[in-house]
C-alpha cells in the first residue's frame, strides 16, 4: 500500500511538471493543475498517516501530561 502511494505521488509530480508549462495559456489547464495539486496533497497526508505509529500515539494520549497552573503562565 505504501509503495502504491509513493508511486501515485510520483505520477502526480510528473503530471504537474507537464501542466506547469500550460498553466498560463489556458484556464482549463490551470484548473486541472490545481486539481492535481490537491490530489497530491491528499496522497501525501495518507502516506504520512500510514507512517505514524498508532500504538505509540494511543499510549501518549492515555498518559497524563504535565499539569499547568495559572501561575505557570505568569512565570518568566
| pLDDT tens by residue, 1-39 | 788 989 999 999 999 998 888 888 888 989 999 999 999
pTM for the complete prediction? 0.65
pLDDT band with cut points at 50, 70 and 90 for residue 43: very high
CB 32 within 8 A of CB 19: yes
Q: Can you give the pLDDT at residue 74?
A: 79
Q: 502516506: which residue's cell?
A: 47
The set of residues, in sequence order, having a beta carbon less than 8 Å from that of 6 and lying 6+ positions away, is 47
Residues for the chain: how many in total?
76
Q: Can you give the pLDDT at residue 76?
A: 60
* Neighbour count for residue 43 (Cβ, 10 Å): 19
Amino acid at each position: 500500500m505504501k509503495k502504491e502511494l509513493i508511486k501515485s505521488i510520483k505520477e502526480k509530480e510528473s503530471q504537474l511538471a507537464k501542466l506547469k508549462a500550460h498553466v498560463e495559456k489556458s484556464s482549463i489547464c490551470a484548473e486541472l493543475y490545481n486539481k492535481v495539486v490537491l490530489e497530491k496533497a491528499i496522497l501525501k497526508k495518507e502516506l504520512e498517516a500510514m507512517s505514524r505509529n498508532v500504538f505509540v500515539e494511543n499510549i501518549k494520549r492515555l498518559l497524563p501530561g504535565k499539569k499547568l497552573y495559572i501561575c505557570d503562565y505568569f512565570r518568566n
